[in-house]
Structure 1
Amino acid sequence: MTISKKQGYILAGIILILDQLSKLIAINNNTYITNTGSAWGLFQGSRFLLLVISFIAIFYINRYFSSHPLGLSLLLGGVLGNLCDRLFRGHVIDFIDIKLFNYPLFNIADIAIVIAIVLIIFKKE
């Protein structure tokens, strides 16, 4: 699926808004954990490093947008969602729990990032 850069930014914005709203709901219901690292709890306590990586990712997403428009739009939305948490809270809010698989908690931004990586790897655009 090919989308324009404008549509991609709109999609990224929608993901960011959904991610942040869902995290506010989780906070209000006190059904979340804080994650000072990255996916699967890697790099715990490395806030500065993860902020730098996020800003570098945003730069490259914008630079190479035309090569994978849908995947990079999803990636941008996910990166921005977790970046907002790191900047304003000092940690990422994770709240989605799939107890059936004993999988680590995650959030909507993480879902967007995983889907983006799959799309980019298989380049179905």
Structure 2
Amino acid sequence: MKIISYSIFIILLDQVSKFLVLTTLGFERSKNIIPNLLNFSLVKNKGAAFSLFSNATNLLTITSILATLLLISIILKSPPKSYWNSIGLAYLLGGTVGNGIDRLLKGYVLDFLELVPINFPIFNLADVSINIAIICFIIDLTKDKSRIKH
């Protein structure tokens, strides 16, 4: 249950951040947060990562729902075997649900984090959570391999 609780915290953080940026900034403006590094620029992303599958909103919504159900099933039926795996699952579930809520309720995902010095797609906290999950899973796999060698 700790994993699901942590995921709920991530979902709330994601949804509150999107709501605050939408209500204070809106779609018309961009706000510099950290000079030469970070802007808040709210955009509607109708696709997946890097705006892939932009015309497949229904498919992406169904995929989000199925991924959420699968992750909850994995968490409840087979508890994670390690710290890094459980943290990864919490972040993955939180990020998946955060963007899934947007797709389900709005038909698009709200992205607002813009890295100024590089030409990188605008993203959100749910996207950050999914990437943290991937890092946790890599750490988990690497730690398992180092145990086998010794």
TM-score (norm 2): 0.75
Q: Which residue does 1:99 correspond to in 2?
A: 116
Q: How does 1:25-44 map to 2 (within 5 A)?
A: 25-28=20-23, 29-30=25-26, 31-44=41-54
Structure 1 unpaired stretches of 5+:
1-5
Whose radius of gyration is greater, 1 or 2? 2
Distance 2:8 2:73 in 1: 18
More strand by proportion, 1 or 2?
2
Q: How does 1:46-65 map to 2 (within 5 A)?
A: 46-65=56-75
Q: Deviations over 1:81-122 (max 9, x none)?
A: 001100111100000011111211000000000110121133
Q: Which residue does 2:38 correspond to in 1?
A: none
Distance 2:14 2:55 in 1: 22
Q: Deviations over 1:33-79 (max 9, x none)?
A: 00000011101021111112112211221233323211011000001
3, 7, 10: which one aligns with 1:8: 3
Q: Which amino acid aligns with 2:42?
A: Y
Q: Which residue does 1:112 correspond to in 2?
A: 129
Distance 1:46 1:32 in 2: 21
Distance 1:43 1:121 in 2: 26
Question: Which deviates more from structure 2 when the two are superposed, residues 64-73 or residues 96-105?
Answer: 64-73
- Aligned-CA RMSD value: 1.5
Give % identity: 35
Work out the number of aligned pairs and report it: 120
Distance 1:89 1:56 in 2: 18
Distance 1:35 1:45 in 2: 10
